[in-house]
Amino acid sequence: MKIIAIANQKGGCAKTSTVVNLAAALGEKKFKILIIDLDPQANATFWLNAETNGICSSSLFSIDQKIKKLIVNTSANSVDIIPASEKLSDLTLSVSPNFEQLKQNLSFTELNYDFVILDTPPTLGFITQNALVACHKILIPVTTHILSLAGVYQLMQKVSFIQVKYNKNLSILGYVASRFDTRTRHAKDVLNSLIENFGDKVMETIIHENIRLAEAPSFQKSILEYAPTSQAARDYRDLADEVIKKIINVNAQNLSQI
């Protein structure tokens, strides 16, 4: 089981879009996926039409929490979720700053999933730090806008701190250029800057701006279900292939067999 945190403290960076649609693309390839929605806005929970029945991922910050009782089904094939709610907003006020509680609960639980994907809030606070301590890899969506790059540098400082103090095994899976508009020179300049600064850590897959992708949450469907032949669906399938190659070391010629 590989735990991947999707994080970027900059809002509007396609973070939840990456979580939902990457999970759906991996599920389409018959991997079993668990999303843990750690964002108080609960956008991933809504997008996947999850019945929460009072369940919230805030319970994962309690000692010895039984995780299996928190898991609910979603509208996407092979994708389950631990939903979020507004309870997460008050989390830091009600618990001690234990940055390893989430990791401890995930470590002591037998989960029958290939990937666990953590959707984090757009801050570098208590919840995001717990996610970085708990995960094996971090995938960073970056909108092709200059302000997004500033947020990435701040995130990297926090990642370095977590690596030294809490999680020496944490590594960068990659940076994903998202909401890329081929019509603007600015987007291309920011993409080039991203590559200049982070080199081969920038994923080859680019997530293009796409109206179908913007519409999908309203219908509570992943882009693969809502518009399976769209450019956005192709982008997220390509991203899933790239993630698989990086994590599982599957040869490109064998991806079609998965």
Per DSSP, the three-state class of 16 is helix
Q: Which domain holds residue 23?
A: 2-248
Of the candidates 243, 249, 252, 195, the one whose C-alpha atom is nearest the C-alpha of residue 18 is 243
Within a domain: residue 133?
Answer: yes
Q: What is the mean pLDDT of the chain?
A: 89
Is 37 within a domain? yes
Quickly state the pLDDT bin for 107 (edges 50, 70, 90).
confident
Please report whether residue 255 resides in a domain. no
Report angle CA 241, 156, 175 to the nearest 5 degrees: 20
Beta strands at 115-119 and 79-82: parallel, antiparallel or unpaired: unpaired
> pTM of the entire structure?
0.92
Residue 50 region by backbone torsions, left for phi larger than 0, else alpha for psi between -120 and 50, else beta: beta
Determine, yes or no, domain membership for 256: no
Q: Which residue has the tokens 């301590």?
A: 133
Q: Answer yes or no: are the C-beta atoms of 105 and 67 closer than 8 Å.
A: yes
* The total number of structural domains that make up the chain: 1
Query: What are the angstrom distances between the C-alpha of 210 and each of 18, 31, 54, 241, 257?
Result: 14, 26, 34, 20, 28
Q: Write the CATH number for 189.
A: 3.40.50.300
Residue 211 has pLDDT above 50, yes or no: yes
Residue 257 lies in a domain: no
Find out whether 64 and 74 touch, Cβ atoms under 8 Å. no
The verdict on residue 258 lying in a domain is: no
Give 29-67 pLDDT, tens digit per residue: 999 999 999 999 999 999 999 988 899 999 999 877 788
82 found inside a domain: yes
What's the mean pLDDT in 122-129? 90
Distances (CA, A) of 152 to 69, 141, 196: 35, 9, 14
Which strand ranges, in their side-by-side order, compose the sheet holding 137-143? 72-73, 79-82, 33-37, 115-119, 2-6, 137-143, 171-180, 202-208
Write the DSSP symbol of residue 5.
E
Q: How far apart are CA 188 and CA 227, in angstroms?
A: 26
pLDDT of 102 > 60? The answer is yes
Q: Which of 73-77, 143-147, 230-234 has the lowest mean pLDDT?
A: 143-147
> Residue 9 domain-assigned?
yes
CA distance 148 to 31: 31
